[in-house]
A = this chain, B = another copy of it.
Amino acid sequence: MELLKQKIIEQGKTIGSDVVKVDMFLNHQIDVDLLCEIGKEFRRRFPSDKITKILTIEASGIGIACIAAQYFGVPVVFAKKGANRNVGDNIFKADVYSFTKGTTTTIGVSKDYLTADDHVLIIDDFMANGKAVHGLLNIINQAGASVEGIGIVIEKGFQPGGDALRSLGYDVQSLAIIKSIDDGKIIFG
């Protein structure tokens, strides 16, 4: 998606050879016009009418998922972090390890909002090692729901998450794939 790649080049800030900060338009301040274009592009790449729900994870996935959902005509469900704090067993849970933070978080989705009848599109802002998406897939499997695809705004192509999921047969669509960061210059794949 050219518009997104331009935005990353113009505004993104690289740190070393593996970090790109995009919190000026994607995950702290949010450029909603750009999000609309991202939402339309996800719809173009996932044209299936079988999709019944968009699943994401708090916090920065929520805005992207909600804007995109307008073009799909389906509700959004977001997995909550820190689900271990919640009481009750009416919840699907999965552990997600964050390489960035070096910690494991339990995420959860109420059993009321994901069922075996659902055809789910996963949407998230970033994919590196893919651990968050693995957690969401785990939850979808617990629910017996179907996975229609995985839509990612920015994939770090030099980390293994995306290709590992593709090799499992999932339809992973990343709108910008960063192949490498070379001396502050971002190279797309």
Contacts and interface: CB of A to CB of B under 8 A. Distances in A.
A76 interface: yes
A171 B18 CA distance: 45
Interface string A30-66: 1111011000000000000000000000111011011
Interface in A61-107: 62-63, 65-67, 69-70, 73-78, 80
In the A-B complex, the 4 residue pairs with the smallest Cβ-Cβ separation, listed nearest first, are A58-B59, A63-B66, A29-B113, A30-B76
A10 interface: no
A172 B134 CA distance: 41
B110 A66 contact: no
Secondary structure dominating the interface of A: mixed
A24 interface: yes
Contacts of A28: 77-78, 80, 109-110, 113
A80 to B, nearest CB: 7
Contacts of A117: none
Contacts of A31: 75
B75 A30 contact: yes
Given A110-B23, A112-B24, A32 B75 contact: yes
Contacts of A23: 110
Contacts of A67: 66-67, 70
